[in-house]
Amino acid sequence: MVNKTIEIAKEAGQIIKKGFGENIAIEFKTDEANLVTNIDKAAERIIIDFIRKEYPDHSIIAEESGENKTNSEYTWIIDPLDGTTNFAHKLPIFAVSIGIQKGNETVIGVIYDVMRDVVYFAEKGSGSFENGKKLSVSNNSILSHSVLVTGFAYDRSDEYNEAIKLFGSFLQKTRAVRRLGSAALDLCYVASGVFDGFWEANLSPWDVCAGMLLVEEADGKVTDFSNNSINVYSKQYLATNGKVHDSMIKIMNESM
């Protein structure tokens, strides 16, 4: 199933790559900051068509078309284009993200970095990989030496102000903080040791399903901001190399 998932992620990626930099049709979902394009929809359609052909009894949760529940123990959780705003503005940082759950446990995660032609994948109990090379989180244990990454929700409410405040706190306590615009790729970079930690609130299952597994299978740690266990439906996500996890939580407690 992993290989087939990689194949369809790359096939969707070719649709995205072909549309990059071209005139695209943009629609607004909740407001003008929350975009969807005709390319998102085309990429999602090809993934869903594949699932319905190869695994017709499996459930599907997809960002653009919603839920299609069945009695199967398997559920595909799909973000056909994570980083739509980047894509729409010709910034080449975006990915196809596909997670597969068995029951309530994610067992396969595939994230395709379209413009770099890099496939990240993980299977429960078998490790995480980047184009076939085994991944491991960073060894850094000193927060002041860390490079972190985060994102901000589309909903610019009071929680948005809290996110800005927390961003400032980490900016003062670390080597650097980045904001790339794709949670899926943020998690890939934690899994591969590029970033020491990632945090974000109010994400959706398709944003984190595959990436959480990648981090965990690369020997990282994923919890909420209070160090509690989470799932793909949680509202807070803290993913780290495990070594700066407690230090990050300390800063969060002081700032929130």
Tokens of 215: 């981090």
* Predicted pLDDT of residue 48: 97
Whether the pLDDT of residue 160 is over 80: the answer is no
* Predicted pLDDT of residue 155: 65
Question: Same domain, yes or no, for 128 and 15?
Answer: yes
Whether the pLDDT of residue 28 is over 90: the answer is no
Taking only the tens place, the pLDDT of each residue in 42-75 is 999 999 999 999 999 999 999 888 899 999 999 9
Whether the pLDDT of residue 30 is over 70: the answer is no
* Predicted pLDDT of residue 161: 81
Whether the pLDDT of residue 20 is over 60: the answer is yes
Domain that holds residue 216: 143-255
Instruction: Name the residue with higher pLDDT: 22 or 74.
Output: 74
The total domain count for the chain is 2
* Predicted pLDDT of residue 31: 62
Question: Integer distance in angstroms from the first to the last C-alpha of the chain?
Answer: 42
Over residues 114-118, the mean pLDDT reads 98
Distance separating alpha carbons of residues 85 and 29, to the nearest angstrom: 12
Question: Same domain, yes or no, for 179 and 115?
Answer: no
Question: Same domain, yes or no, for 167 and 51?
Answer: no
Last residue of a domain, one of 95, 114, 134: 134
Taking only the tens place, the pLDDT of each residue in 163-204 is 899 999 999 999 999 999 999 999 999 999 999 999 999 999
Angle at 216 between CA 212 and CA 218, to 5 degrees: 120
Question: Same domain, yes or no, for 130 and 11?
Answer: yes
Instruction: Decide if 153 contacts 202 (C-beta within 8 A).
Output: yes
Say how far residue 157 (Cα) sits from the centre of its chain.
Answer: 22
Distance separating alpha carbons of residues 246 and 220, to the nearest angstrom: 13
pLDDT > 90: what percent of the chain?
86
Last residue of a domain, one of 134, 155, 176: 134
Question: Same domain, yes or no, for 128 and 67?
Answer: yes
Question: Same domain, yes or no, for 124 and 225?
Answer: no
Whether the pLDDT of residue 232 is over 80: the answer is yes
Distance separating alpha carbons of residues 48 and 147, to the nearest angstrom: 36
pTM of the model: 0.95
Distance separating alpha carbons of residues 109 and 20, to the nearest angstrom: 24
Give me the CATH number covering residue 244.
3.40.190.80
Band (35; pLDDT cuts 50, 70, 90): confident
Q: How many residues does the chain have?
A: 256
* Predicted pLDDT of residue 23: 80
Last residue of a domain, one of 106, 134, 162: 134
Question: Same domain, yes or no, for 228 and 163?
Answer: yes
Over residues 233-249, the mean pLDDT reads 97
Q: Which residue has the tokens 């590029």?
A: 194
Question: Same domain, yes or no, for 104 and 147?
Answer: no
Give me the CATH number covering residue 6.
3.30.540.10
Question: Same domain, yes or no, for 68 and 43?
Answer: yes
Band (32; pLDDT cuts 50, 70, 90): low
Question: Same domain, yes or no, for 126 and 150?
Answer: no
* Predicted pLDDT of residue 10: 98
What three-state secondary structure class fits 67?
A: strand
